[in-house]
């Protein structure tokens, strides 16, 4: 009997957790007025005190509404980049944010002061011992007591800090909060910071490019792939609106490196996914019914519960000019800058690859003469007649070689792990595209990345588009994760429908498929898509396409340590490109071999 109840009890627990998560999210969304905000409800915090958890949600929504939370997150990341200690810095920022939002939201919602009082009371009761062990913790105790009891007495070194934080209740701009957090860190935590690293203006002058070159993996709770800077900024944004104390170091130490977690989302959040994807990646060029049929047909097996989203990109078809649009525009210009600075190299590569393809296509169309038992007689062989018992074949037949037409798909990995090579990958695709256009070969260019359970395929050029469309590949931008198997399956599906007999797929990737897991309500919860499982699935999709007559070439654009995975995915048909300078030579050699081989799959 006891065993029979376990599934029901587990279901009830899941239902309760979903209800609580929805309540927290709804509270944040209601306060902020922005249903696009994302948060990861802290169920551990709720189990200790629902008031702390609810007030954190209120504070997160209020901060997003009244201030620029992205600016605060970016400041914290830049400060850490210069060597600031993350935990005390974020704790000080938490106190500044709380002071900055409280009066504003309390003026609109009369229940907030009571909720805050209960949250502060619970925090003092539950965490007094731990808070008293650090300077920032004692500062928090002084503020909690002051707000609760009107007793502002505290140790002398904290008096000025308390006054500074309380004064932020009238703050109108996020820079006031940033300046206060920076001053508090430089006076309470590290008095030598300005001398060693520079003042606030110097910290804020750090460029995004500088930040992206830094390895943020050590600052994240688990080993992640994709855009680590993006993930770290998100983490910092979340931390500045929480009341709970940081996890004990022993808790963090007990977590195994490389643990892959599942992202749990509610039905309401799932319903908003599509709108969020449109905001950040542009509108889809498919109708809703076309999108639905595509997902039903292709999102199966290892990709059950996943979705495909086909778009021309946020720059081509945006919902609005949001931060993602601005970011895409900036990266597009970065690609174009390298393009302008590499014109001579590009011209040489395009000319070389164009000539390679032209010669190969010409040879393929040349007729062959083969010895035969009938046909046109060969006079020089007539001497064998009557002199040999078996004179052999005395005739020659002219046989036309396979002159089937070709079509090519170029698929680029656009995950965050390609960030450092973004512009080089864009130029490589451009070289291929120009050479194919010069030889009048129809071809399409697409990129892929994944966000939540969506695999986004961005189209830069259609098969029969004009040559001017080749430049659109410079809008290539990288972000998030990558589900290679599903992307190859989707692109191959369209390629197989083309009328040309010869079909080629060129995949530019780093050989490291890696995607997060999203657990929708009532989902079948697919296995984590990374490591051996993801590599095996991607290799299977490549073999499946080859068995259907598609020639698949993997162009490796990653780090040398990932070569083993690339070899497993593409077998012998892959090219390792160390620099764009030699790109045309390597790819041209492969295409020449393919086009001149009559035993190829087409």
Question: What pLDDT score does 458 carry?
Answer: 97
More confident residue, 510 or 164: 164
C-alpha closest to that of 363 among 402, 405, 407: 402
pTM of the model: 0.56
- pLDDT tens per residue across span 175-212: 999 999 999 999 999 888 888 788 999 889 888 877 77
Measure the CA–CA gap between 58 and 98, rounded to whole angstroms. 10
The yes-or-no verdict on residue 536 having pLDDT over 80 is yes
C-alpha closest to that of 269 among 23, 25, 552: 25
The CATH code of domain 273-355+403-595 reads: 3.40.50.410
> Please, which residues have CB within 8 angstroms of residue 201's CB and are 6 or more apart in sequence?
none
pLDDT band at 364 (very low <50, low <70, confident <90, very high): low
Q: Which of 108-122, 215-229, 380-394, 525-539 has the lowest mean pLDDT?
A: 215-229
Give the containing element (helix H, strand E) for 444. strand 443-451
The angle at the Cα of 442, spanning 441 to 448, to the nearest 5 degrees, equals 125
Question: What pLDDT score does 2 carry?
Answer: 44
DSSP assignment of 270-298: HHHHHHHHHHHH--BSS-HHHHHHHHHHH
Measure the CA–CA gap between 566 and 568, rounded to whole angstroms. 5
Handedness of CA 328, 331, 332, 333 (dihedral sign): positive
Give the containing element (helix H, strand E) for 410. strand 406-413
Strand partners, 546: none
Token pair listed for 118: 């209960």
Question: What pLDDT score does 569 carry?
Answer: 92
Question: What pLDDT score does 455 carry?
Answer: 94
Question: What pLDDT score does 253 carry?
Answer: 35
Strand 443-451 to 406-413 pairing = parallel
Domain spans of the chain? 44-246, 273-355+403-595, 367-399
Helices (H) and strands (E) in the chain, counts: 23, 12
């Amino acid at each position: 009997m006891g065993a029979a109840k376990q599934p029901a009890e587990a279901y009830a627990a899941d239902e309760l957790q979903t209800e609580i998560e929805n309540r927290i999210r709804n509270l944040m969304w209601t306060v902020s007025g922005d249903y696009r905000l994302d948060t990861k409800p802290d169920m551990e915090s709720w189990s200790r005190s629902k008031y702390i958890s609810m007030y954190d949600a209120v504070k997160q929504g209020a901060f997003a509404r009244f201030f620029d939370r992205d600016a605060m997150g970016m400041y914290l990341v830049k400060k850490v980049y210069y060597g600031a200690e993350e935990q005390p810095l974020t704790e000080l920022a938490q106190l500044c944010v709380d002071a900055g939002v409280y009066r504003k939201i309390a003026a609109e919602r009369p229940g907030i002061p009571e909720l805050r009082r209960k949250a502060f009371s619970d925090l003092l009761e539950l965490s007094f011992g731990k808070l008293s062990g650090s300077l920032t913790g004692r500062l928090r105790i002084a503020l909690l007591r002051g707000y609760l009891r009107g007793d502002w007495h505290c140790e002398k070194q904290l008096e000025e800090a308390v006054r500074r934080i309380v004064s932020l209740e009238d703050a109108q701009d996020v820079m006031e909060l940033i300046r206060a957090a920076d001053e508090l860190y430089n006076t309470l935590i590290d008095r030598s910071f300005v001398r060693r690293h520079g003042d606030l203006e110097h910290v804020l002058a750090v460029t995004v490019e500088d930040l992206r070159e830094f390895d943020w993996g050590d600052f994240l709770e688990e080993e992640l792939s994709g855009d680590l800077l993006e993930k770290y900024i998100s983490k910092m944004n979340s931390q500045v609106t929480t009341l709970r104390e940081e996890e004990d170091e022993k808790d963090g130490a007990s977590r195994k490196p490389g643990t892959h977690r599942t992202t749990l989302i509610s039905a309401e959040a799932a319903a908003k996914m599509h709108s969020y994807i449109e905001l950040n990646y542009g509108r889809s060029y498919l109708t809703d019914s076309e999108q639905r049929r595509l997902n039903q047909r292709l999102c199966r097996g290892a990709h059950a519960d996943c979705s495909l989203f086909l778009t021309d990109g946020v720059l081509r078809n945006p919902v609005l000019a949001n931060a993602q649009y601005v970011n895409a525009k900036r990266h597009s210009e970065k690609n174009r800058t390298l393009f302008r600075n590499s014109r001579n190299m590009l011209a040489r590569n395009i000319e070389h690859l164009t000539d390679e393809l032209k010669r190969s296509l010409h040879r393929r169309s040349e007729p062959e003469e083969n010895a035969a038992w009938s046909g046109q007689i060969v006079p020089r062989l007539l001497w064998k007649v009557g002199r040999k018992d078996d004179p052999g074949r005395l005739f020659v037949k002219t046989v036309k070689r396979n002159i089937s037409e070709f079509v090519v798909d170029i698929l680029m990995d656009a995950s965050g792990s390609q960030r450092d090579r973004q512009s080089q990958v864009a130029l490589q695709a451009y070289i291929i595209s120009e050479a194919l256009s010069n030889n009048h070969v129809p071809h399409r260019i697409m990129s892929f990345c994944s966000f939540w359970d969506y695999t986004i395929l961005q189209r830069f050029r259609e098969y029969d588009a004009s040559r001017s469309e080749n430049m659109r590949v410079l809008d290539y931008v990288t972000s998030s994760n990558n589900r290679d198997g599903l992307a190859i399956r989707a692109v191959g599906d369209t390629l197989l429908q083309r009328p040309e007999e010869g079909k080629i797929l060129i995949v530019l990737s780093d050989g490291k498929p890696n995607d997060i897991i999203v657990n929708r309500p009532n989902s079948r919860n697919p296995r984590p898509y990374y490591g051996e499982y993801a590599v095996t699935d991607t290799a299977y999709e490549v073999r499946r396409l080859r068995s259907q007559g598609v020639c698949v070439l993997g162009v490796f654009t990653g780090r040398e340590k990932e070569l083993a995975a690339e070899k497993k995915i593409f077998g012998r048909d892959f090219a390792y490109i160390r620099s764009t300078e030699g790109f045309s030579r390597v790819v041209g050699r492969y295409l020449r071999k393919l086009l001149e081989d009559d035993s190829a799959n087409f």
